[in-house]
Homo-oligomer: A and B are copies of this chain.
Amino acid sequence: MAKKIDKKAAILDAMLDLVVKRGFHDAPMSALARKSGASPGVIYHYFPSKNDLIRALYQRVAAVKHRAFFEGYSHDMSARESLLHIWLNAYRFYRTHRKEARFLDQYLSSGYCKTSEDEEAESADPTVKRIMKWMRPKKHGGVLKDLPPEAIDSLTLGLAASLAKAPKAFSKDTLTRIAETVWTAIAEE
C-alpha cells in the first residue's frame, strides 16, 4: 500500500520537474518513465492517459496551494487582517514552491485541460465563500472600493505571485509594508 502511493507520487513529482524544466511541449512519457523510475506500463497502471496524469498533478498542486493560502486563517479575523494574512501566505507559498508556481502558470495559460470545473470546485469551498463576502465593493456588501474583481485579484494575489518570482526574497517587514499599501489602495475609506 505504501509502495503504491510512493510510486504514484514519484510519477507526479517527476512530471512536475519535467514540465517546469522543459515545458509542456517537451515532456514526453519516455522521459517521465526514466525520471520517475517507473516503467511506461506502470504509469498507465496508475493514470489512464497523459492528460489525466497532468490533470491529477494540477489538482494535487492546487490542493497544496489552497491549504497554504488559508493556513492559520481564522474566521474571527477582520477583512483587513484576513487579506494581510492570506496575502503573506500566498507570497510564502509561491516563494517556497517555485516549481509549483511555474507549473500553475504554465498549466493555466496552456489550455492543456479545461479549467472551468476546477474553478467551480474552488469557489464552492465554504472558507472561500466567506472571504468573498468581504472582498467585493462596498456597494455590494463588501468593504472595498468599487473596482472590478479582476483588479482586486491582480492587485493582491497577482502581486504576491509576481513578487515571489524576484530573485531575492523580501523581508517580512517589506512585505507587510507592501501589503498595507495594497490594502489602502483597494479598501474603501
Contacts and interface: CB of A to CB of B under 8 A. Distances in A.
Contacts of A24: 23-25, 110
Given A24-B25, A147-B178, A153 B162 contact: yes
B109 A25 contact: no
A150 interface: yes
A151 interface: yes
A181 B144 CA distance: 13
- How many copies of this chain? 2
Nearest to A161: B154
Chain A residues touching B, range = 20 to 34
Contacts of A112: 23, 25
Given A148-B170, A150-B165, A102 B109 contact: yes
A166 B181 contact: no
Contacts of A150: 162-163, 165-166
Nearest to A107: B109
Contacts of A185: 181-182, 184-185
Interface string A169-189: 010001000100110110000
A171 to B, nearest CB: 11
